[in-house]
Amino acid sequence: MQRLRTFLDHHCDDQALVAVIDGLMVACKDIAYRLHMGSLAGVLGSAEQENVQGECQKKLDVISNDLIKYCLKGMPEVKGMASEEEADPVACNPDGEFLVLFDPLDGSSNIDVNVTVGTIFSVLKASANDDATHESTYLQSGKQQVAAGYVLYGPSTLLVLTTGNGTHTFTLDPRVGEFFLQREHVKVPATTKEFAINMSNQRFWLPQMQNYVADLLAGEEGPLGKRYNMRWIASMVAEIHRILTRGGIFMYPYDSREPQKPGKLRLMYEGNPMSMLIEQAGGKASTAFEDIVAVEPTSIHQRVSVVMGSADEVETVIRYHA
């Protein structure tokens, strides 16, 4: 079996980037350990405070954020970082080459019921004169990512990673504390019969999305001509991992509850890194109107609507919105 570091040494020419990914995994292994200990580690329940997004934080949201910050701050390759849980970016090493953006614990509402959660990360290049405390330094489109990935904390702990040369999955062996290559060059099937969306928001969607989902539910007798199954886990990491494993389409579209926000999910910590992983696996990621990675960010906490997964299915959604 091939270790993660060995794989990266052979597939990534930038050893500084390899060191960043390797360092991130130190924090993720610690998060995995605490999650698997559950209540025995005292990590369950609410932190009784809100993050910058106005969301109630779980204890492990705070712990995961602190663990990743601690690891990144000690890395000479990292110039700065931005977290979903932090209002402002944090400077690390002034001579660092990279910026790291992350969602420390995606799907944290699932923690207390022991359902899959994960860590999502995106890596961007930094320029020598960039000020890592300034938000503008991080406002690069998804096309400029040099690496992206997530760690899924489930029955086993998995890393899904791309450095721009395909999407690859690794499994953590807790006996030795190392990730080992599981699947190289993952491919998402172009078509699917499985979709994931939060149907409780249906009345708030645009008419085009309502029409599309109605046609999905019409099955063989509808215009799409096939029967679909619906899934919903309320964890983007889990939803995208299912798609990378067997195909499908995941949607968190624009809705009218907060008209000033273009979507629910965050562009920089969720939309962009997941888009890179899906596209490197042959899938497609869109807002339903344009490619997610083409969106020019205006804020590190910017939101975006999301439609991603099997390419033919995403193209169908885009046609409904054309």
Residues making up the binding site for substrate: 106-109, 198, 264
Residue ranges for the known binding site are: 84, 103, 105-109, 198, 264, 270
Answer for the pair 214, 203: CB distance below 8 angstroms, yes or no. no
Is the alpha carbon torsion for 60, 66, 70, 75 positive or negative?
A: positive
DSSP per-residue string spanning 15-54: HHHHHHHHHHHHHHHHHHHHHHHGGGGT--SEEEEE-TTS
What CA–CA distances, in Å, run from 9 to 17, 18, 179, 306? 10, 7, 14, 33
56-63 long-range Cβ contacts below 8 angstroms, 24+ apart: 57/85, 57/108, 58/105, 58/108, 58/109, 58/111, 58/112, 60/31, 60/34, 60/35, 60/105, 60/108, 60/111, 61/85, 61/104, 61/105, 61/108, 63/31, 63/34
Residue located via tokens 């899938």:
283
Extract the annotated binding site for Mg(2+): 84, 103, 105-106, 270
